[in-house]
Structure 1
Amino acid sequence: MALAIGDQVPQFKTTDTNGNVFDSTTIVGKKPLVLYFYPKDNTPGCTAQACSFRDQYEDFLDLGAEVIGVSGDDFASHQKFTSQYRLPFLLLSDTNRKIRKLFGVPTALLGMLPGRVTYVIDSNGIIQMVFNSMLAGQHLSKALAAVKKIAAQ
């Protein structure tokens, strides 16, 4: 069952870009969060998506929000990807796909490719927006609009 608008984000732990344990309770329920799931580091669409969030990261921070990416890559891959593209936000490793399953992120291309879904979560840990599209270029504008709406409340 996929998480939807109005759902509380469940707690999870995993490894972050730096090899540290990331506990979702350190951010979820404390500030707005853009949590985006993407298929794979260093692929054209995923790189474009990550760089779009990088280029407007300050806009999210100015609105009090954090941005975090999640893929099935391990933290060594995330470190390389982060360093190569100077990503200022955390990437989380979901090598066992537990977080994907927790959120109900679907697969794409007949189940062969992990899906691309962006969630915008408010400071109470409630999902305010879900955007499911393999079109990487559309996620940033949808997420930024949703964060602006949260900030205006």
Structure 2
Amino acid sequence: MSEKINVGDKAPDFELIKPDGSTFRLQNQLKETNVVLYFYPKDNTPGCTKQACEFRDQYEVFKEHEAEVVGISADSSDSHDEFERSHRLPFVLLSDTGNKVRNLFGVPRKFGIIPGRVTYVIDKDGIVRYIFNSMTKPLEHVKNALEVLKNIEKK
């Protein structure tokens, strides 16, 4: 695991393949919008489904605050594709099968084995403005990220 990313740090750039086969690059997205980058344990589990659906239900509000939501887990692109379709998710889920990006951000594991649930709000300058780490409060990731985005706009 590399060094943990903290608030105020420049977010490390990365590239992952989207389920449609195109490439997502963080720096390219930041040229257009702020990014709410959330790492989650697994598709179609109760907490992860609640979290994804809450991001879906608030997606238009994120767009109003000039932010794109991006989810990352180690699940396959096929799993993400099915998860996106079954829950009508309007944002991209990226497959980090080797946990390279998770490790790049220093996302911890619970009990050393379960992939952590951590959300990062990254502004257009690539600076991490907020980090929320909670396995047991998936809906707070969404609420807190929106509050941070509102404060970014005020500055």
Query: TM-score band, normalised by the shorter chain?
Result: over 0.9
Note if 1:3 corresponds to 2:15: no
Q: Which runs of 5+ in 1 are unaligned?
A: none
Out of 43, 62, 83, the residue aligned to residue 45 of structure 2 is: 43
Q: Which runs of 5+ in 2 are unaligned?
A: none
Deviation at residue 151 of structure 1 after TM alignment: 1.5
When normalised by structure 2's length, the TM-score is: 0.95
For residue 92 of structure 1, give the secondary structure of its aligned residue in structure 2. Answer: strand
Name the counterpart of 2:119. 118
Instruction: Give aligned-pair identity as a percent.
Output: 50
Rounded Cα–Cα distance in structure 2 between residues aligned with 1:29 and 1:150 = 16
Rounded Cα–Cα distance in structure 2 between residues aligned with 1:40 and 1:100 = 13
Rounded Cα–Cα distance in structure 1 between residues aligned with 2:149 and 2:93 = 19
For residue 107 of structure 2, give the secondary structure of its aligned residue in structure 1. Answer: coil
Deviation at residue 29 of structure 1 after TM alignment: 4.8
Q: Which amino acid aligns with 1:117?
A: V
Q: When the two structures are aligned, how many residues end up with a matched partner?
A: 152
Contact residue 121 and residue 128 of structure 1 kept, 8 A: yes
Note if 1:94 corresponds to 2:93: no
Name which of structure 1's ranges 45-54 and 26-35 shifts more when overlaid on structure 2: 26-35
CA RMSD of aligned residues (A): 1.0
For residue 50 of structure 1, give the secondary structure of its aligned residue in structure 2. Answer: helix
Deviation at residue 28 of structure 1 after TM alignment: 2.7
Out of 15, 22, 43, the residue aligned to residue 20 of structure 1 is: 22
